[in-house]
Each structure stands twice: as C-alpha cells, then as structure tokens.
Structure 1
Amino acid sequence: EAAAESLMVIKTRANLLPAIESRLRDLHSYDVPELVAIPIAQGAQPYLEWLYASTSDSQESS
C-alpha cells in the first residue's frame, strides 16, 4: 500500500496509552497503524509537572 504519511507526536502518560491506542485503531485507515511509545527518562521539572497537570483527569487526586 502506498499512501502519504504524517508524523504525529502525542505527549501523555503511560497509563493513558491504551485509550490512545484504541482511538487510533478506530480512526486510522491502516490495518496496522504505527504506534511507538518513548518513555521520558529525564526532563525539566516544570515541563514534567505541566505534562502531568495537562493530562490529569480533574477527578484524580494529586
């Protein structure tokens, strides 16, 4: 199969990956869409705090 491809980067937490994978499979036209998770080994603390806050459910306790 030949098709134009685009790269998408999604910044999230590991525990949210299953929901993202499920939605990707629902929306993607490929039978086997590429999904690769790259863990963050280290990062600037303000950024990591922002990432966590941005991906937290408002009902989650801190």
Structure 2
Amino acid sequence: MPDDKSKTDNRDRDRVSGDEEYEVGYFASKFGLTIPEARQLIAKHGNNRDTLEREAKALGNR
C-alpha cells in the first residue's frame, strides 16, 4: 500500500521501508547496490537509515 502523501510529519524519515519498492530502489541506487543486496542489508540490520547507510558504505569499500 502506498504512503499517505497527505501526512507530512516526517515520522519515518529515519527508516527505509523494505516493503516499498521505490524506497528499496532508491537506497540501492544511492549506494550502487542491487535490489537483493539492499533487501539483504535491511533484513540483516533492520530499517534504521543511519545503520543501513553505514553498512552499505562498508559493503562498497570491500
């Protein structure tokens, strides 16, 4: 189900929704990951954006 665009209170800006294709796709493209790699990071580390960005950068440095 799509996000409710009428709600603009920024409650979930610090999270990456693994259920939303566009969020996973954006996260993957931002760090040069494939969709499965991005989903694997979300499954392993949760959906906290700061943690995921740190892990994605570490994955890219290997």
How does the TM-score come out when normalised to structure 1?
A: 0.27
Larger Rg: 1
Which structure features the higher share of helix residues? Answer: 2
Higher relative contact order (CA 8 A, sep 6+): 1
